Amino acid sequence: MSRKRSRSRGVVQDRTLKLTAEQKCTIAQVEIEDYKQDMAALKASSEKIIDGYKEKEQVEAATAKLKQLIGDYRVPAAFAYVDCVRDMRTLRRKEKIHERKVAIAKVSETQRTEARKPTNARPHCKRVQQDMCAT
């Protein structure tokens, strides 16, 4: 496009210029080459623009898909984890309570069995008996 194109010459101009057939052919070839170069440049430019639009469409589609995924996203894994931790702590508390109850039951059972044991003689009575036997 840097060269200015010459317009095709009409019959009137050809009479005044009186160009030879070779000169006319050369001018026509130069004009054809200019048109070919212009067409190639326009084609390359058009392809770049079309590629840009295709990329833009792909980016917009990916953005729309991502926005939909973000909108639909919920955090079930975090809630499930929190529920699991809460249940674990509750179970540990119940375990400690149960262990305390078992310990209390053991202590009270030992106290009951000691209270039920028959005592043959009281300790101060044994001394009295020993003193009597010694004399």
Angle at alpha carbon of residue 56, lines to 38 and 62, rounded to 5°: 155
CB 4 within 8 A of CB 38: no
The token duo for 94 is 């119940």
CA 2 distance to own-chain centroid: 53
Q: Tell me: the pLDDT tens digits for 50-71?
A: 999 999 999 999 999 999 998 8
Q: Tell me: the pLDDT tens digits for 82-135?
A: 899 999 999 999 999 999 999 999 998 888 888 777 665 555 556 656 666 665
The token duo for 86 is 């809460």
Q: Would you kindly state where each structural domain of the chain is located, as residue ranges?
A: 1-73, 75-117
Cα–Cα distance between 34 and 110 in angstroms, integer? Answer: 115
Mark residue 3 as left, alpha or beta (left: phi above 0; alpha: psi -120 to 50; beta: remaining): beta
pTM: 0.38
